[in-house]
Structure 1
Amino acid sequence: MSTPRDPLPPWLVAPWKRLQQARAADRLPHALLLSGPAGVGKRMLLEQLAQALICAAPDAAGRACGRCPECVLLAAGNHPDLVRVGPEPGAKSNDIPIAAIRTLCAGEALTPNRVERRVVLIDPADHLNAAAANALLKTLEEPVGRTLLCLVAEHPERLPATIRSRCQQLRIALPAEAEALAWLRGRLPDAQAELALRLAHGAPLNACVRLDPERLEARTQRLQGFIALARGERAPLEEAAAWNKLGAALLLEWMAGWLCDLLRLRASPTPPRLDNPDQREALAGLAARLDPVAGHRFLGRVLKARALCEGSANTQLLLESLAIEWRELAAAG
């Protein structure tokens, strides 16, 4: 969690100023929908906004002081006017259930306790199930006094249009590569920053964890398995089991990157960019035998599978299906 005094990355400065201008003019909305790719800093921005709104003595830039009694409670995770709503820990589904929204909207749950404004963070809002979204809509249609509802989403299009239309929307885009690299080079060795950013698909905050040695080794092993499948040297069910053990979400993210690079290399032996530049040689040998139309179709299947994995899909069966389809596709190339 971001602390009140953590400096914001450069690409978040303009959105922060916009929010502070609205605050100074007493024009903050009753509901804010903050969206953008994973790892771009949405949650960092909202955490600092929430802390600043609850702080008793924000500084001239509107940031929380980190020292007042309210900030002390925030740091301890015990402030009653910062409410977090998300999926139930340990539940099979990653959905936010209707019970969580009913609890939020019941009685005095939306009324400030210690300070002038209560802040509610609904994260990830695009995981509200249909019933929960409908329950939240009633509150959005009849906002409660000094409460700010903050919805965070990677995929705002999954929210009902009725929810989106009742929120002020603020989208955080990926920063330009040069800006992201300049920020990363203060945190990673120069030689590693570019690879880390490519592996994170341009998301700087995610890039900081992409160079973990164990993670890189696991990626190399699974790419070798992916290529072995294409050559008929690996059984699909065996490789799918290894994928599932690693975690379907991470594996499908990697696979989407491998496929994008294969399609780039199929179109040109010297593409302007690759998501996996350190694996160019391993991918280049496979790219020549990939049918571009079938490759694009399979990439669509992988992207759809990534979305299904966020729900209650049987990931083992899903990955087995993809492994079989990939071997057949490669064999026909």
Structure 2
Amino acid sequence: MKSNFLLTLGLQLLAAAATAQTTADSAAAATPPSPLTTYGFVDGYYGYDFQHAATNQRPGFLYSHNRQNEFTVNNAVIGLRYDNGQARGALGLHAGTYVAANYAAEDPVLRHVYEAYAGFRPFQKAWLDLGIFASHIGFESAVSKDNWTLTRSLMAENSPYYESGARFTFEASPKLTLTGLVLNGWQNIRENNQAKALGTQLQWRPTDKLLVNSSGFYGNEQPQDSVRRRRYFHDFYVSYAATPRLSLALVFDVGTQEQAARGSKADTWHSGAAFVRYKLAAKWTAAARAEYYAADHGVIISSIIPAPAAPDFRVQAASLNLDYAPATNVVFRVEGRAFRAREPFLTDRDGRPTDNYGNLTSSIALSF
């Protein structure tokens, strides 16, 4: 009798525990996730340059990871994002050598704003956002962990990282997203003239493996006291996950900017890059990049107002990247990169003109 009693009691306790767990699971499932989330990112790095002037500053056309022979932080970001399905917004702050180099022309109060925008759905499948947000242009972002290579390509370094304005996004279908923008300009938070710029973006995912992007920009980006020079720009890229291990990407940019003198030939620039990424093992990934950049009179990459007699900029580069991810939210990366030009475009450590330049960069990046 005693054993039967104990057995019955045990079964009742197990049943009660199972019921309690089921109730807890149901309550958890019924509770929607919080619309407010936090995020953060820190990218500490050390770089070393070859065939470059004896300074800790890398060449002026590099903005991300732009210090050498120095232990420092490229970008440290912390922020909040809100999205309840009908309204959304974000506020993020950042600091680092990337910020010092890329936001130098901004108002000091605004330099440390990574993103700050508010938006809502004017109708189903559409968003309208207003504020400061990531650029609609380019295959690479300001957050290095999201990029296939540690450093950014020349085309990415010399096109907008961020924008300020109004953004309208329409989800035409699960495979097609269309975006239209009215902006203060080409990577500037504060307006520098009385004109506004226009932007467009089309992203098409015909399959889970393939992404096709087309982004456009039009605007006059000269200061208020300068002669108008309208700028037209287009960014195109396609990425393809060939296998679970192998991914490929091709990127091509082309732009043109009017000369100040009426009837003069416009300054044109174009740039291309090819990326290959391969997963070597569970925690190891390798990536290679080949690229070129060609700009009449160094437009954009050397000056936004180039003189007709300024030299052209013609540079080719290649890099090799090795990543080790000991955990899902941290990655250790090492990259070697080499540049070569038709004509000398830098000075070496002895102060002599040189047509080649190379560097090594290492980084530990943590995201949360």
- Class of the TM-score when normalised by the shorter of the 2 chains: under 0.3
Structure with bigger gyration radius: 2
Q: Which has the higher helix share?
A: 1
TM-score when normalising by structure 2: 0.21
TM-score when normalising by structure 1: 0.22
Q: Which has the higher strand share?
A: 2
Question: Relative CO higher for 1 or 2, CA cutoff 8 Å, sep ≥ 6?
Answer: 1
